């Protein structure tokens, strides 16, 4: 028995060995890049990481280190907004079904807003700010309006099936409905919501399974129809936001895009490269801006308009840390840094 006791105590001592404490946290988030890392489904590992441009160092898990708790499960969107003169960040945490509001300077949590329909998670996919309200675009086919003075959901409208994203033009919100969970019957609509009355004013018919949506400076919207991943190919759709008519469809196998200066920068799956599309002449440029064939898993494209830099995310097979690579607008590589798992949004600070 003595041997047993001895063995037991040895094991207990050995097993109590702890990992070193996490790295020291920044106190200033004013010159760097804040990354929202989606994490993986049912792993509760959505995180925020920060790349400091002064020290050229990444610090991981900023949210949890600062707030003493995890961000949650599967973060899908992150925006910065100013309310009553103060900067804030809102994060849509999908599987946890929360809108997390944090202080944009300290990254400390201000409020966690649950987005539920009784016991059913609505699953916020993306979040928008418009005139003192936040709008949570929910995967259950709804948009929740959040009053920032009380941080509560004040009203709700129904949109289409499994909306993924939205764009704002003036006081109208254009919600793209993918219908992804209704495979093989995808949705093919964009819901137009008037934000003053917070009601649906019209529904635009487009093509199936639309995911992202952006606007140019000519009152036109561009959305990616992802097809059905087998016979129906992805397309870039151009929509007139005044007439609500799909004007044109371009056969481009694209999966990520962003708008800057009369140009859409997008990732083309067919040649694994970044290309441009001119929104004035409505033509694609066949020139490769950045060749991404060395990426393991292309996962996102962002432009820092102020610095005029392109940032590309490699999610490394979705289960390893992402790498974020920085390029000039002309496409020459500048530097790279590490993010967390599936870096899905960047904020330039």
Partner 1 sequence: MQLKIYISLISCIFLFYAKSQNNDTLKVVEVLSKKDSILKLTVINSSVPHYIINKDKLNELSAEDIGDALKYIPGTYIKDYGGIGGVKTVSYRSLGAGHTNVEVDGVILPNTQTAVINLSQFDVFSITKLEMSSGQVQNHYSTASSYVKSNLISIYSSLFDLPTKKINVKLMGNASSINAYQGGLFYQQKLSKHFSFGLQSLYHFGSGKYNFSLKNIDSTYTSERQDSKLQNTKLKGGISYHKKKFKIHLNSNYSTNQQKLPGAVVLYNPYNDQSLKNKILNATLTGQYKSKTIAIGTNLFIQKSQTLYRDNHYLNVQGFLENQYTNGTFGGGFIFNKFLKTETQKLFIGSDFKQATLSGDQFEKSPVRKNINSVIGLSKWFWRIKLQANLSHQYIHDKTPNDTKNISHFSPFISLAYIPFKKQNFRIRSHYKNTYRLPSFNDLYYNSIGNSNLKAENARSSNIGLTYGKTIQLITFETTLDIYRNKIKDKIVAIPTKNLFNWSMQNIGNVLSRGIDLSLLFSFKKESHTLVFSTSQSYNSSIDVTNKTSLTYGHQIPYTPNYNASYTSTFSYKKYNSSLTLLHTGSRYVLNENLPFNKLEGFIDIALGISRTFKLKHQSIYCKLQAVNLLNTNYEVIKSFPMPGRYYNLKIVYTFNK
User: Where does this chain bind partner 1 (CB under 8 A)?
Assistant: 1, 3-4, 7-8, 11-12, 15, 19-20, 22, 40, 42-45, 47, 60-61, 64-65, 67-70, 72-73, 93, 95-98, 112, 114, 116, 119-121, 123, 139-141, 161-162, 180-182, 185, 226, 229-230, 255, 269, 297, 316-321, 340-341
Q: Which two tokens stand for residue 233?
A: 């190919």
Closer residue to partner 1 (CB): 32 or 340: 340
Closer residue to partner 1 (CB): 153 or 195: 153
Least Å distance between CB 217 and partner 1?
Answer: 29
Least Å distance between CB 3 and partner 1?
Answer: 8
* Helix intervals (H) in the chain: 2-15, 62-67
Which H or E run contains 7? Answer: helix 2-15
Contact criterion met (CB below 8 Å) for 280 and 268 = no
Cα 160 from Cα 158, distance rounded (Å)? 7
Closer residue to partner 1 (CB): 216 or 299: 299
Contact criterion met (CB below 8 Å) for 37 and 344 = yes
Q: For residue 216, which of 236, 239, 234, 191 has the smallest C-alpha distance?
A: 239
Point out which residues pair with 310 in neighbouring strands.
303, 327
Q: Longest C-alpha distance within the chain, in Å? A: 85
Least Å distance between CB 218 and partner 1?
Answer: 29
Contact criterion met (CB below 8 Å) for 91 and 99 = yes
Closer residue to partner 1 (CB): 42 or 242: 42
Least Å distance between CB 145 and partner 1?
Answer: 20
Closer residue to partner 1 (CB): 318 or 335: 318
Least Å distance between CB 188 and partner 1?
Answer: 14
Least Å distance between CB 299 and partner 1?
Answer: 8
Q: For residue 320, which of 295, 345, 348, 291 has the smallest C-alpha distance?
A: 295
Closer residue to partner 1 (CB): 16 or 330: 16
Number of C-beta neighbours around residue 106 at 10 A: 13
């Amino acid at each position: 028995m003595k041997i047993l006791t001895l063995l037991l105590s040895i094991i207990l001592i050995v097993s109590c060995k702890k990992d070193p404490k996490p790295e020291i946290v920044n106190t200033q988030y004013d010159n760097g890049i804040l990354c929202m890392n989606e994490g993986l489904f049912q792993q509760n590992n959505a995180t925020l990481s920060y790349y400091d441009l002064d020290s050229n160092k990444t610090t991981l898990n900023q949210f949890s280190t600062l707030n003493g708790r995890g961000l949650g499960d599967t973060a899908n969107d992150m925006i910065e907004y100013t309310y009553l003169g103060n900067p804030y960040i809102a994060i849509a945490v999908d599987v946890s079904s929360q809108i997390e509001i944090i202080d944009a300077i300290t990254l400390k949590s201000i409020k966690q807003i649950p987005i539920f329909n009784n016991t059913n998670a609505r699953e916020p996919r993306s979040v928008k700010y418009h005139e003192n309200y936040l709008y949570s675009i929910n995967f259950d086919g709804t948009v929740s309006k959040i009053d920032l003075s009380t941080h509560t959901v004040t009203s709700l409208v129904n949109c289409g099936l499994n909306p993924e994203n939205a764009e704002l033009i003036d006081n109208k919100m254009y919600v793209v409905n993918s219908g992804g969970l209704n495979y093989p019957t995808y949705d093919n609509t964009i819901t137009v919501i008037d934000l003053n009355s917070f009601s649906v004013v019209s529904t635009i018919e487009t093509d199936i399974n639309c995911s992202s949506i952006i606007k140019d400076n000519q009152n036109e919207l561009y959305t990616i129809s992802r097809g059905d991943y087998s016979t129906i190919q992805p397309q870039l759709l151009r929509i007139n936001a005044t007439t609500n008519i799909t004007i044109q469809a371009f056969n481009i196998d694209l999966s990520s895009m962003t708008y800057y200066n009369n140009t859409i920068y997008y990732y083309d799956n067919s040649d694994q490269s970044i290309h441009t599309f001119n929104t004035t002449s409505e033509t694609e440029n066949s020139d490769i801006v950045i060749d991404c064939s060395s990426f393991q898993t292309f996962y996102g494209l962002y432009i820092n308009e102020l610095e005029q830099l392109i940032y590309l995310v490699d999610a490394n097979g979705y289960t390893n840390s992402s790498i974020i690579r920085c390029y000039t607008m002309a496409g020459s590589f500048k530097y790279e840094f590490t993010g967390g798992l599936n870096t899905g949004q960047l904020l330039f600070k």
